[in-house]
Amino acid sequence: MKVILAKDVDNLGYKGDVVTVADGYGRNYLVPKGMALVATKGALRQADQMRRAREEADRKQREEAAAKVALLGASPVYISARAGDGGRLFGSVTKADIARAVEDQLEEKIDRHDVRLDDPIRQLGRYEVEIHLHEEVNAQVSVEVIAHEEDEEETA
């Protein structure tokens, strides 16, 4: 049975794709749940329009992500953290801290889930962190963890 996907379906395809599935799967699951339409001539034309719209939206997102790459890589992001002797941090710098610093300093909204950091940063220093902007576009951001400066008036 040929169906046109009305929504993205895991392990099957994306919205607007024409796929062949088992009759029962299409008739009893995909179509009743609104995830697919039976492939007729009119529906195939509609599928073509959905596919073109999806490709255009994807192209725009890719272009926006490519424009962000230059902005994010232009200047380092500074994160102030309390550190002890030897540059070891009290605590750590996490993905959320990096996303917040990018938003505050570079004025670009970044989701913490898009920050590619295997382990939290626990030392002072400069780190190259990858940020996932799009399926095909990643940006490198230079993150510099600096020692937190205590005000002299507070300690007196």
Are 2-61 and 75-151 equal in CATH topology?
A: no
Q: What is the pLDDT of residue 150?
A: 63
Q: Are 6 and 34 in contact (CB under 8 A)?
A: yes
Q: What is the pLDDT of residue 152?
A: 44
C-beta neighbour count of 86 within 10 angstroms = 7
| pLDDT, average across residues 20-35 | 93
Cα–Cα distance list, 153 to 39, 58, 84, 148, 149 (Å):
74, 53, 20, 15, 12
Domain 2-61, CATH: 3.40.5.10
| Residues 101, 11: Cα–Cα separation, whole Å | 36
Q: What is the mean pLDDT of the chain?
A: 86
| pLDDT, average across residues 68-92 | 85
pLDDT digits (tens, 9 = 90+) for 120-155: 999 999 999 999 888 888 888 889 998 877 644 444
The residue ranges of every structural domain in the chain are 2-61, 75-151
Cα–Cα distance list, 70 to 73, 77, 146 (Å):
5, 14, 24
Q: Are 9 and 30 in contact (CB under 8 A)?
A: yes
pLDDT-based confidence at residue 84 (cuts at 50, 70, 90):
confident
The more confidently predicted of residues 20 and 72 is: 20
- The reply to whether the predicted model has a pTM over 0.85 is no
Q: What is the pLDDT of residue 72?
A: 82
Cα–Cα distance list, 80 to 6, 40, 59, 68, 150 (Å):
48, 60, 37, 24, 11
Question: In this structure, which topology does domain 75-151 adopt according to CATH?
Answer: Ribosomal Protein L9; domain 2 (3.10.430)
30 pLDDT above the threshold of 90:
yes
61 pLDDT above the threshold of 90:
no
Bridge partners of 70, per DSSP, are: none
| pLDDT, average across residues 31-40 | 90
C-beta neighbour count of 97 within 10 angstroms = 21
Q: What is the pLDDT of residue 156?
A: 43
Q: Are 106 and 71 in contact (CB under 8 A)?
A: yes
| pLDDT, average across residues 4-27 | 89
